[in-house]
Amino acid sequence: MTPSLRIADFPAPAWRRMPALAALLLAMFLAACAPLQRREVPAAPPAEVAAAQGRWPAELQAFAADDRARAPGGVVAVGSSTVRFWTTLPSDFPWVPGGVINRGFGGSTLHDCSLLVEPLVLRLAPRHVLLYAGDNDLQEGRTPQQVLEDLQRFVHAVRAALPGTRISYIAIKPSPSREALLPAMREANAAIAAWLKTVPNTDFIDVFSPMLDAGGRPRGELFLGDRLHLNAEGYRLWQRVVAPYLGAA
């Protein structure tokens, strides 16, 4: 009589081997889709850094002279003319020891900031950086993706030298004179906000939304006659929005 066969006598069917194969494929997929903050960000080419330094010699010399009188560990605001014209920064945040140091330089771009991290930030060794730049980049024809990449280079450069420093990015503002760029501004802000959510110890400060009226257009009463730069009311709005992020600075 032929002995009875048992299940154990047969090789494991293919369907029973599938969980291990699926786990391997999933691991390979997740490795290929690693979070953006883990991707290597190329260092700025030396020639581009030198060119940026050559565009702003007077401003960088003034910053260097002022830095010699500064103690490390403070709060610094970096960016374009919107930062430079924020002359009430120290009085707007009186609880910040030493006030907020203004390192705005008019006409600059986020691309410039990403190339000049050392003189703008590292030399001061701040505990917190406020950054506003990006709309000049879009005005000059750079894409939202390029704006994001420049922010990534800025953040990685700061973190490489100052791993404990907090970085808060202030959203690109909706200026009436640049209303045609609103779609690009929205795209850049959304991409930056999404990326910063993956980076510890960073903030996306949304000044964009409260600067729009009920119809989704820029609020003209927040701007000077040039319809580009903020007036006193505009800076008061920014103070209210930014203040909570400096509460524990």
Reported as a single tens digit per residue, the pLDDT across 160-216 is 999 999 999 999 999 999 999 999 999 999 999 999 999 999 999 999 999 999 999
Let me know: does 169 contact 203? Beta carbons within 8 Å. Answer: yes
CA distance 96 to 74: 8
CA 102 centroid distance within chain: 17
Q: Give the residue from 205, 175, 202, 176 showing the smallest Cα distance to 189.
A: 205
Q: Token digits for 162?
A: 């100052």
Let me know: does 127 contact 164? Beta carbons within 8 Å. Answer: yes
Q: Which amino acid is at 66?
A: D
CA distance 147 to 119: 20
Rg of the chain in Å (alpha carbons): 24
* Structural domains of the chain in order of their starting residue, each with its CATH number: 41-246 (3.40.50.1110)
Using DSSP's 3-state secondary structure scheme, residue 210 falls into helix
What tens digit of pLDDT does each residue of 56-105 get?
999 999 999 999 989 999 999 999 999 999 999 999 999 999 889 999 99
